Chain A
Amino acid sequence: MLGQVLFGGLAVGSIYGLVALGFAVIFKGTEVFNFAQGMFVVCGAYLAVTAMSVLGLPFFAGAVFIVCAAALLGVLIHALLIQPLSGRPMLSVIMITIALCIVLRALIEMIFGSAGRPLSTPLPSGVITLGSLRISKLHLTAMLVSWVCMGGFGAFFRFTPIGLLMRATADGHEAAVVSGINVNLMNRLAWAIGSVLAAVGGLFLGQLQIVSTELESIGLLALPAVVIGGMQSIPGAIVGGLLVGLVEQLAASYVSPKSSDIFIYGLLLLILMFRPWGLFGQRELGRV
């Protein structure tokens, strides 16, 4: 039983890690704390609904559709909401991402209605048995895809020229400008990537649960994940996601289904009080 819970925790945690990675890319690249990352997850889930149920696309085409649409969403948000606020205090930028949540939620409910919808995809369902463990195939797929995505993006950042330019931009804005980097383009790219990663997470979470705007609070778990793992650290975001997933499943199984929230947010509070730079972050000099 414990093994199963742990596996479930790792599977869900992988999805959280993916969403948290998207959040971290946006944060490192553009220094924006994207409160709307949870809604990006919801958008991803509803994009999946559009692709599969409404448009009836075959799975591969549907996946391409989701990725492109999510990337477009990220770019639009940056151009319309974030870029106009460049140079403004952080308070304003946080507020606009919060306002974005309100707007997106209202739009989605107007288009799709506020009731939840099931998401049916050709993703494998059912269970496989490994020894005494019964593992959900969907969990397994989610985990594999998440890790492939995270690995893929890791490789992208480390080994490709564009990835290098994005890392450089995150390292120093003015240094990047001086080096001939089109910083605006890099910012848009960061938001596109952040949105796409959230959308993939939304695809899986929508399938694991039901597609509704309530998914936002699940998507929002990326925020404590990133902070617990370490805001400035990409591997930290991923580990944070895994941790949150594990805590969630363990709490839900051994304490009570609704108790996972306080364990996660309690952990967040502890980290904020005693180690605000996260488990894997580095203590930065100056203000937090």
Chain B
Amino acid sequence: MIKNSNSADHVSPIHSSVEGRDNMSHMARNVRWALAIVALLYLPVVLTDRAIFGIPLSNAQLLNLSLTQINLMLIAMMGALSLNFLTGCAGLISIGHAALYAVGAMTAATAGTLWGWPFTLVLLAAGVTGASAGFLAGLPSLRVRGLYFVLSTMALHYIVMYAFLEYQFKFFDVVGIPFKNASLGSFELSTPLRWYGFLLLLTVLVFWGLRNTLRSREGQALTAMRDHELAATSLGVNVRTLRLKAFMLSSAIASVAGALYAYYLTNVTSESFGIGFAIEFIAMIIVGGMGSLGGSLVGAALWLLLPSIINLIASQANETTGLVHLVLVDHKAQLVQLIFGLLVVVLLIFAPDGLAGLSKQWQKRKRNTDSSASAHKGEA
């Protein structure tokens, strides 16, 4: 017999247990948020002291991570979030994110290094140039969509990187573009810890801002547009301007991230922004789950953790020889790329909604078994 989707499979739980469950889940969520905040605040302490609650941790247990890498991860998170907003939510595939980072870096170079503007103003300038670049880069989207649009972002990448190269050679030299210390007013960002606080704040801001944008009316129109463009147009949504706005916002964030990246590394060249960089962002959002902002965070975190894990395993394998040694030690970087690439492939085939999608499915299944369990309890 065929099971219809609307067959009564799920027995609705009895009232009191529902309310009880809701109160519980509210408290549980608040507790979880509190724990997360505490963990985030305690993390830098753990990493600097190399100990947790006084218990010393070995390098291996900390996955050889340092606060510097966490900071780079935070910057990558901003990039992943902005790309996911554009590609996952608005449906505009873009491999131009590396170019946008480069735009931010160039702005920072001009405003910060050449003109000596204060750091905060530099970041603002990066946002503005980013938005303008987004506007220009988004113009093709008025004419073409989907496939051709990706190509236009590809063209964008090569054109911007050429401009970057010329810029670098004209105003600086082949070694790279240097950046002075960043400071917020009189507060100098001179230690990884200070950067951590600042970047964490910014990342949370970006996440929160994008999430609210998606929940706003325009944001929902954006998602509607991604799924059913014809329907969205018929609802009076001005699809074209919406797309352009999405691109501008996404580019502004990416550009600011690029400026932060430049300041953090204190020196960048055109090699820092190759097309592989753009592709890595795409990989991050696929792994995390396209359309899921939380997923982007996971994807970026994985991008950070994977090399560390591999490094760890590799350091154990120093004494081995032959194939194992070749793969794990000589070609660590390639192994990371290989695993990341394969992860993307596997997820695309078997779990197209990424890790976020998998977690949602798992939660749903848990809720189903929970509800049927409590229903049984109610009946007994």
Contacts and interface: CB of A to CB of B under 8 A. Distances in A.
Direct contact of A and B (CB under 8 A): yes
Interface of A: 33, 81, 84-85, 88, 90-92, 94-96, 98-103, 105-107, 109-110, 114, 217, 223-224, 227, 258-259, 261-262, 264-266, 268-269, 272-273, 276, 287-288
B176 interface: no
A84 B349 CA distance: 6
B345 A106 contact: no
Nearest to A101: B279
B352 A269 contact: no
Given A94-B93, A110-B326, A99 B152 contact: no
B151 A259 contact: no
A114 B326 CA distance: 13
B152 A272 contact: yes
Tell me the dominant secondary structure on chain A's binding face.
helix
B129 to A, nearest CB: 19
Interface stretch (B58-66, B330-338, B360-368): B330-338
Given A98-B282, A99-B348, A103-B342, A268 B162 contact: no
A99 B159 CA distance: 23
Contacts of B341: 99-103, 106
A96 B155 contact: no
B335 A98 contact: no
Contact of B155 (A102, A106, A107, A272): A272
Contacts of A81: 345, 349
Given A95-B282, A100-B345, A106-B334, A224 B340 contact: no
A258 B352 CA distance: 39
Contact of B348 (A96, A110, A217): A96
3 closest Cβ contacts across the A-B interface?
Answer: A102-B341, A106-B338, A103-B341
Contact of A95 (B140, B156, B163, B344): B344
B344 A102 contact: yes
Nearest to A104: B341
Contacts of A107: 334, 338
Nearest to B88: A91
Interface string B320-335: 0000001100010011
A217 B327 CA distance: 25
Tell me the dominant secondary structure on chain B's binding face.
helix
Interface residues of B, number: 45
A215 B344 CA distance: 23
A272 B352 CA distance: 29
Given A100-B345, A227-B151, A273 B140 contact: yes
Interface in B129-158: 139-140, 143-148, 150-152, 154-156, 158
A95 B283 CA distance: 8
Given A90-B146, A95-B282, A287-B145, A272 B162 contact: no
Nearest to B143: A273
A288 B148 contact: yes
Given A81-B345, A100-B345, A288-B145, A269 B140 contact: yes
Contacts of A106: 334-335, 337-338, 341
B147 A90 contact: yes
A109 B331 contact: yes
A224 B151 contact: yes
Contacts of B165: 258
Given A268-B152, A272-B148, 20 more contacts: A84-B349, A91-B146, A95-B282, A96-B349, A98-B282, A100-B341, A103-B342, A106-B335, A110-B331, A217-B275, A223-B154, A224-B151, A261-B158, A261-B159, A265-B158, A268-B154, A268-B155, A272-B152, A276-B144, A288-B146
A224 B334 contact: no
19 contacts: A33-B147, A33-B150, A91-B93, A91-B146, A92-B352, A94-B147, A95-B286, A96-B345, A103-B342, A105-B337, A106-B334, A107-B334, A109-B331, A223-B154, A227-B148, A261-B159, A268-B154, A269-B159, A276-B148
Contacts of A265: 154-155, 158-159
Nearest to B147: A33
Nearest to A227: B151
Contacts of B345: 81, 96, 99-100, 103
B335 A272 contact: no
A262 B162 contact: yes
A258 B162 contact: yes
B333 to A, nearest CB: 8
Contacts of B158: 261-262, 264-265
Contact of B338 (A94, A103, A259, A269): A103
Contact of B335 (A90, A100, A110, A288): A110
Contacts of B139: 273
Given A95-B344, A110-B327, A85 B143 contact: no
Contact of B143 (A262, A264, A272): A272
B282 A110 contact: no
Nearest to B348: A96
B341 to A, nearest CB: 3
A81 B283 CA distance: 16
